[in-house]
Each structure stands twice: as structure tokens, then as C-alpha cells.
Chains A and B, each alone.
Chain A
């Protein structure tokens, strides 16, 4: 463990003292582990420094008493340090955010220990979790999320029925699940896909069914962070002219280039990994976007053919 600075030691000692006072003779090793304090210096910091702390005029009756017996520790006469320093706003925020986040994950127990502990901590801060602070990590089927989280934890393969949004089709595949994570408000599963024979990122809300298999797999020693969209150099590109009303597109999607137009609109270029994705964007934007050019096999009349396909649904 790295050496601690005086402030880091102080921060820990102010938490250690109340805990030792409240617990009958914990061991040095236990304190060191619980409070992340180097065991080698904990003993001397208690015996040589805390033992010298007290009130003016520092006569023995005014000093904190540290009793060491074998490897056990007792602390007495430290009334002013017998309760921990209140949480700073950043500490309180972190704790309540972490608790609320996990509680908001589909399938969390709304009456379990986390919910009870979070409510207790939040009430000391004047916060009502849910009403005053709410975290949305993304919607997902609780059963699917539970199955794949369990599979990640136990390193077993999963069989997925997965809806491929970009191609608008349902597929079945076996995946070695590496990690489950929420990013930008959606749940993702990162894993090795045996159908695609490569690492793939799956959106959990598009997994229609997940079944844990008995077969294990070798998890790589390090798993990369989830990065949601990585355009491939070979992906076709589309250049769109956006009206001023559609400028949000440049903010909501990863664009490769942006240029201002004289009418207040934008010219943007996007990498298109899946045609259905572009179809949705165009048919929603309608007259607010014009396809200026495309590369690869993207048809130029994509908007009209897509609109006709959807219109057929209305039988007109």
C-alpha cells in the first residue's frame, strides 16, 4: 500500500476512532483492512500519535487513552472524536447515487437491505430517493438482465435470441458474456459472439430471450470498457443537409464532420453500420433532412422506398 499523507491518515483516524470505541477490542489487522490503513504504521500511529492527542494543558487526564493488549486495541477518553465527521456533499452524492443506481436496475429488490440502507442514509441528508434524485440506467427485462449478470459472474455461456436493430431481424447466437454495463442510458452486454466469431456489443433491451448454458469459457484477463459506437473504416458514409430544426442530429449521433450552412442548418457526415438505422432517421426527419451523397451500397432513394414500405402498412 502506498504511504499515506498526513491528511489521508487524519481522514482515516477520524473514522477509525469512533469504530474502535464502539467495538470491543478489535485487532490491528482488522482495523487496517477495514479502513484501508497500512498495518505497518497503524500500530505506531495509534501508540505514538493518537496517544499524544488531547486538550490543553495536556496533562495525562486530558489525553486520549489508547490501550494495546496483544494485537487488540481499545480507545478511551476521546469523546470529541466519538462520532464520525459528517459526509461531505461529494461523499453523500456518491453514496446515494451508487445506491439509487443499483436499486434502479431492473430486478433489484425494492424492500431489500440496499433499499433500507439507502433510505436511512438519505434521510440524514434530507433527501428522498426517487423523489429528489432518480437514476435511470436504462430499461431492460429483469429476467434477461438477471440471467446475463449471473452468467457473467459465473463465467458460463448464454444463448441469446437477439433483435438486430440495424438489419431489422431476429437472430439466435451463443455468446461468452464478458461484462454487463450501462452506458448513456442503455444496458449492454459485451461478449464473444460465436455466430459472428468476434467480440460484439449487445443491447440488453433487444435481447428477447437469454438462457444460461452449462458450458464455461475462458474469460480474457482484461476486458475492454464498453464504447458504444465504433465506426468501421469500411462502413458506408452518408452526407446529410439538415434544416435548422434538425441540428440536434449532430448532437445526438456521432457525426464525422459538421459544417454550418448559410440557412442556419448543418451539413453532416455519418458512418452507417446498418441501413435500417439510417432509414429510421430519414423517415423521422422527413423534409428536415436531404441526402446529399452516399458511399458504398447505400441507395440514394432510401427515404422514398422506406416511406413507401411503412405506408403499405396503412393499406393506402
Chain B
């Protein structure tokens, strides 16, 4: 295991050094590198790649007082060491349980748990509650949200430059919300519709924003009509569904039916929502939304299903 020993010694040297070390200095100081220059370079490059792949932040920096100028390597401790989150044992155990219950990236999750001190609880595999898909671009976005880095990517055939505010996973998909610098406004992006790479700029590039509501808006709130308070009566059999998906009803009737009150800025989407209940729901107010529903249905009865807008 000469390689393991060499990698450990290389890391120790790069972490402890006062100034950047040149490749030649590292060759002299660390045992196990080949003598010949070309094979040394190959082995050294491979080692650096292996370490960087693990997330070891090796920086290349100019050496002071060298002429001609020379570069050297080091690992800055501030970039290397994890800030100790100070987890209590029950908190670490709870995170471990979560990492087992929710499958995200099983390798990364095991590595993360080891960094936090490891756990000695056996892992059950087929009891996972959910799988949440992930990809490397998502990790880039996640870091960018935490470190306030501007991200660039292509979306709907245009180059975007976005201050990333928030990530949402809903209905099985990831969404990014943020401030689109080109469009000067908050926008939402579906990750699976970003076709290419996502690159992140330097940290601290924008101010922390007030919390965004993200994409978690109901379809009838996604419109620019003047907001109106609508009341929807839902039969008892569907009341519990409505309660869990929409929230506490404004009124509960004796027969178990409920009245939901919601603010509508997209009347068409609200009609679509009401129709998912078929005859088990009824728009009570406002009168024009109720009339709109009646007109819509009457037209469908009248035309017998032959398309008008084909």
C-alpha cells in the first residue's frame, strides 16, 4: 500500500507547510515517487486528481520572491477542515436514520456520515421511504445557494445568469428559484430542463434575499388577474384530501362537507382544480367564477365533445 502512505504524506506536507511547495520540493520530501522526471510528473498528477476528486482543496499559488516566477502547491486549512457542527449523539443517529430512510446518493451519504464521526447501526436496504434523485449539477446549485454564488446555464435556448435563492423538490422534480439578472426578476427553473452544464462564480456575489416562496404555489395563484377570494364547497368524502393538500377549511358543515377559501389570480386553473372533484364540489363564490363554471359545462354538454379549438 505504498500509494496510501504517499497520499497521506503528501496531504500532511501540503497542510502543514508555511508557504506553497513546488513539485520538485514535494518529490524530494515525499517517499515513493519515481526518480525519472516524466514518470514522477505522471504519478504526481494522478495523486492530485485523486485528492481533488475526494474534495481535497489543493491550490496552486505563486511563490513569493522567485525569479523567474514559480508556482507551488498547498492545502489551505480554512478550505480543508470541516466546521464541527457539534452534533449530539441522538442528532447524529437521527441523521443516520434519515440517510437510510431517504435514498439520495448512497455513496456520498455514507462518506458524509463517516466525516461526522461514523455510526455503528446496521443499514436496512429495502425499507427506504423514498428516493430523491440527484445529479452533480444539483450539488453545484446547492453550494451556490449556501455560498451565494451566481450560476450560469442555458435555459429555453438562452444563456442565464441567476442569483440562486432556493431549491425545491416537488412532484418528483427539482426546481431552482432565483433572481434572473438578464430578466431582472424572480424566475423558476426545472432542473431537468436545463440541458447542459451549470457553472458557479465566486462566493458572496449577492446579498441574502428575503425568503422566496419558491415554486410552491397552487396553480390558481399563478396568474396576473386581480386577486379574488373564491369559496369551494367540497363533499364529506373528499374533505380529508382537501384538508391535507390545501389546508384548513374556512367552514366545516354538519354533514362533513367543507368550504375552502382561496385567493385566485388564475380563474382557468381554479376551474380545473374544482373539476378534479367532478360532481363532488361546487364553486359558491364569487358569482362570476360560478357562472364561468356553469357556462363552461353547458358548452361541453351542448357540443357533445366535438372539438372546437382543433
Q: Do they bind each other?
A: yes
Interfacial residues, chain A to chain B (CB-CB below 8 A): 6-7, 9-16, 19, 30, 33-36, 45, 48-50, 52-56, 58, 80-81, 83-99, 101-103, 105-106, 112-114, 116-118, 120-121, 123-128, 131-137, 139-141, 149, 152-153, 163, 168, 170, 179-185, 205-206, 208, 222-223, 241, 243, 245, 263, 265, 276, 279-280, 282-284, 286-291, 300-304, 306-314, 316
- Residues of A close to B184: CB separation below 8 A: none
Given contacts A91-B108, A102-B98, A117-B87, contact A133 B145 (CB under 8 A): yes
- Residues of A close to B120: CB separation below 8 A: 30, 33-34
A100 CA to B284 CA, complexed, in Å: 38
> Which of A55, A120, A131, A241 is within 8 Å of B87, CB to CB?
A120
Asked whether B138 is an interface residue with its Cβ less than 8 Å from the other chain, the reply is: yes
- Residues of B close to A309: CB separation below 8 A: 278-279
Given contacts A132-B145, A136-B169, A183-B130, contact A313 B282 (CB under 8 A): yes
- Contact of B84 with A302 in the complex, beta carbons under 8 Å: no
A48 CA to B2 CA, complexed, in Å: 11
- Residues of B close to A14: CB separation below 8 A: 11
- Contact of A245 with B279 in the complex, beta carbons under 8 Å: no
Name the segment of B34-42, B111-119, B152-160 touching the other chain.
Answer: B111-119
> Which of B12, B140, B299 is within 8 Å of A286, CB to CB?
B299
Name the segment of B59-67, B221-229, B237-245, B259-267 touching the other chain.
Answer: B237-245
> Which of A50, A163, A290 is within 8 Å of B307, CB to CB?
A290
Asked whether B69 is an interface residue with its Cβ less than 8 Å from the other chain, the reply is: no
Given contacts A99-B98, A116-B91, contact A136 B168 (CB under 8 A): yes
- Contact of B139 with A184 in the complex, beta carbons under 8 Å: no
- Residues of A close to B143: CB separation below 8 A: 89, 92, 125
List 27 A-B residue pairs with CB atoms under 8 Å apart, sorted by A's residue number: A11-B111, A53-B8, A56-B13, A80-B16, A84-B115, A85-B54, A89-B142, A90-B139, A91-B115, A95-B113, A99-B98, A101-B130, A101-B169, A124-B83, A124-B84, A125-B143, A135-B132, A139-B245, A170-B237, A181-B128, A280-B275, A286-B300, A302-B305, A304-B300, A309-B278, A309-B279, A310-B278
Please classify the interface of chain B as helix (H, G, I), strand (E, B), loop, or mixed, using the class held by over half of its residues: helix
A301 CA to B303 CA, complexed, in Å: 10
Given contacts A86-B55, A185-B170, A307-B297, contact A95 B81 (CB under 8 A): no
- Residues of B close to A6: CB separation below 8 A: 1, 3-4, 7, 50
The residue in B93, B105, B109, B111 that gathers the most chain A C-beta atoms within 10 A of its C-beta is: B111
A97 CA to B88 CA, complexed, in Å: 20
Given contacts A113-B90, A181-B129, contact A313 B279 (CB under 8 A): yes
- Residues of B close to A245: CB separation below 8 A: 309
- Contact of B126 with A222 in the complex, beta carbons under 8 Å: yes
Asked whether B80 is an interface residue with its Cβ less than 8 Å from the other chain, the reply is: yes
How far does the Cβ of B179 sit from chain A's closest Cβ, in whole Å? 14
Given contacts A91-B109, A105-B129, contact A183 B172 (CB under 8 A): yes
Q: Count A-B pairs with CB separation below 8 Å.
A: 364
- Contact of A96 with B142 in the complex, beta carbons under 8 Å: yes
- Residues of B close to A88: CB separation below 8 A: 54-55, 108, 111, 139
Given contacts A102-B97, A311-B298, contact A241 B9 (CB under 8 A): no
How far does the Cβ of B10 sit from chain A's closest Cβ, in whole Å? 10
A152 CA to B276 CA, complexed, in Å: 31
The 3 closest A-B pairs by CB, nearest first: A117-B91, A290-B307, A185-B171
How far does the Cβ of A94 sit from chain B's closest Cβ, in whole Å? 4
A98 CA to B97 CA, complexed, in Å: 9
- Residues of B close to A303: CB separation below 8 A: 300, 304-305
A15 CA to B309 CA, complexed, in Å: 64
The chain A residue with its CB closest to the CB of B238 is: A163
- Contact of B240 with A208 in the complex, beta carbons under 8 Å: yes
> Which of B11, B29, B305 is within 8 Å of A290, CB to CB?
B305
A185 CA to B5 CA, complexed, in Å: 47
A106 CA to B166 CA, complexed, in Å: 22
- Contact of B142 with A185 in the complex, beta carbons under 8 Å: no
> Which of B1, B117, B282 is within 8 Å of A49, CB to CB?
B1
> Which of A116, A124, A301 is within 8 Å of B305, CB to CB?
A301
Given contacts A92-B142, A120-B86, contact A284 B240 (CB under 8 A): no
The chain B residue with its CB closest to the CB of A22 is: B117
A297 CA to B9 CA, complexed, in Å: 75
- Residues of B close to A112: CB separation below 8 A: 94
How far does the Cβ of A48 sit from chain B's closest Cβ, in whole Å? 8
- Residues of B close to A136: CB separation below 8 A: 168-171, 216
List B residues 225-276 near A (Cβ within 8 Å).
Answer: 237-238, 240-241, 244-245, 271-272, 275-276
- Contact of B54 with A11 in the complex, beta carbons under 8 Å: yes
